[in-house]
Amino acid sequence: KDNKNQNLRCPIVCVLGHVDHGKTTLLDKIRKTRVAKREAGGITQHIGASEIPIDVIKRLCGDLLKMLKADLKIPGLLVIDTPGHEAFTSLRKRGGALADIAILVVDINEGFKPQTVEAVNILRQCKTPFVVAANKIDLIPGWNSKEGPFILNFNEKAQHPNALTEFEIRLYENIIKPLNELGFDADLYSRVQDVTKTVCIIPVSAVTGEGVPDLLMMVAGLAQKFLEDRLKLNVEGYAKGTILEVKEEKGLGTTIDAIIYDGIAKRGDYLVVGLPDDVLVTRVKALLKPKPLDEMRDPRDKFKPVNEVTAAAGVKIAAPELDKVIAGCPIRIVPKDKIEEAKEEVMREVEEAKIEVDDEGILIKADTLGSLEALANELRKAGVKIKKAEVGDVTKKDIIEVASYKQSNPLHGAIVAFNVKILPEAQKEIEKYDIKVFLDNIIYKLVEDFTEWVKKEEE
């Protein structure tokens, strides 16, 4: 391995934007994957992660890299995909806070939408620098879109004058103007003089691949520059991370998929996990790395065992007692003498993320802390009272608990459950106590179905 670059930190790039503006499809184009097409309801509902190695970036950028006046020294980019649906504010905030740099994806034809504005405000709050990927340029009337650098396709030879005019209008009206209104100077990236003062806009098409080299070149160049400016290039200390998913793996038992956003994780060190009412300390049995360009949530390939993982990276961790942990929880991977410090850190983080509940109401369940929070927020917005919010499958105990809620108010005899299972033992109890269980893998459908049921019951 290249010793010189061993401690060079891989920048975290968060992809944010309004629902369906093309975040996942854009990453699919870069990775040559098809994640977007397999998502329930066509929307992203979790945080995803994938690594783009530097050689892939260099290959895709080709001669464009000469536009950067520096050599790329970063080992690659760790890209975090986030959901654009309004329910997932907490995941966008988490992604925005983790990131060194962000890509704000905006459909150039639709322009700024509520979650675009929300994303800009999150980035402003976190002081995260960002570029804009002005997506779906292939849909500009008359635009002749083709794979490769945008900059080579943006001239009178390649485009009809009307298409160029239409492009300029959309670029200004739908992207530059709304950014100005939010207090940001912005321009087409090739016209930007000072990247620290003006937001760079890179026109792209996630469908044709046009502009992907320009986007990668700018993001890699800027990420390196910002990291250098902040002297954050070297990785030191123990690993800090967050759990994306808890998964059964053949031969390994229960494992967690996590993002390590800072520090170094070592096999044999102690894994400290902050749980809602507890802290778990266990020993790391194995660290496994996903293949480059694989989306961790939907990998094409097997994970590879390693002794050490340096931030930023996605990693699968095997350790005893992981069946107790839940997605969304904070983690640390530390040597023995740092366990107490790590415990305090994760407990503080968990406390800050707790969901508030009402004196009376329904029970809600979800697969991760992030989706539970999203579900709670969406139900609240619809005026629904929540007595208890928990991560996990629907159990017999849940049904018996809700049966007691129902006695004081029939409309509270319900469970709203996102992306979990109803355990077989619970099924009989559901019938016995006549409990209404709403189960779906699309958050907004759950909220709709539940509020419709309440309306009918009230009539």
CB of 45 to ligand GTP, least distance (A): 8
**Nearer residue to Na ion within complex by CB, 20 or 257:** 20
CB of 304 to ligand GTP, least distance (A): 28
Q: Which of 50, 53, 57, 49 is nearest to 75 (CA)?
A: 53
CB of 173 to ligand GTP, least distance (A): 19
The item of Mg ion, ligand GTP, Na ion, none sharing an interface with residue 22, based on CB under 5 to 8 Å by kind, is ligand GTP
**Span of 40-48, 170-178, 239-247, 449-457 interacting with ligand GTP by CB under 6 A:** 40-48
Question: Which residue has 């030879």 as its token pair?
Answer: 157
Q: Is 389 in the site for Na ion (CB under 5 A)?
A: no
Core vs surface per residue 156-190: b (16+ CB within 10 A) or e? eeebeeebbebbeebbeebbbebbeeeebebbbbe
Q: Pick out residues in 111-170 that bind ligand GTP (CB under 6 A).
A: 135-136, 138-139
Q: Pick out residues in 20-79 that bind Na ion (CB under 5 A).
A: 20, 42-43
**Contact code string over 13-42 relative to Mg ion, x by CB under 5 A:** ----------xx------------------
Q: What gap in Å lies between CA 174 and CA 69, rounded to an integer?
A: 30
Q: Transcribe 373-427 into DSSP letters.
A: HHHHHHHHHTT--EEEEEES-B-HHHHHHHHHHHHH-GGG-EEEEES--B-HHHH
Find how far residue 215's CA is from the centre of its chain: 19
CA quadruple 2, 6, 9, 12: dihedral, nearest 10? 60
**Nearer residue to Na ion within complex by CB, 27 or 430:** 27
Distance linking the first and last C-alpha atoms of the chain = 69
Q: Is 23 in the site for ligand GTP (CB under 6 A)?
A: yes
In this structure, the number of other CB atoms found within 10 A of the CB of residue 271 comes to 27
What totals of helices (H) and strands (E) does the chain contain, helices first?
A: 12, 21
CB of 276 to ligand GTP, least distance (A): 27
CA angle 117, 118, 122 (to 5 degrees): 120
Q: Pick out residues in 38-77 that bind Mg ion (CB under 5 A).
A: 44
Give the helix/strand (H/E) hosting 350.
helix 339-352
The item of Na ion, Mg ion, ligand GTP, none sharing an interface with residue 135, based on CB under 5 to 8 Å by kind, is ligand GTP
Q: Is 19 in the site for ligand GTP (CB under 6 A)?
A: yes
When CB distances to ligand GTP are compared, the closest residue is: 84
Binding site for Na ion (CB under 5 A): 20, 42-43
Binding site for ligand GTP (CB under 6 A): 17, 19-25, 36, 42-44, 83-85, 105, 135-136, 138-139, 205-207
Binding site for Mg ion (CB under 5 A): 23-24, 44
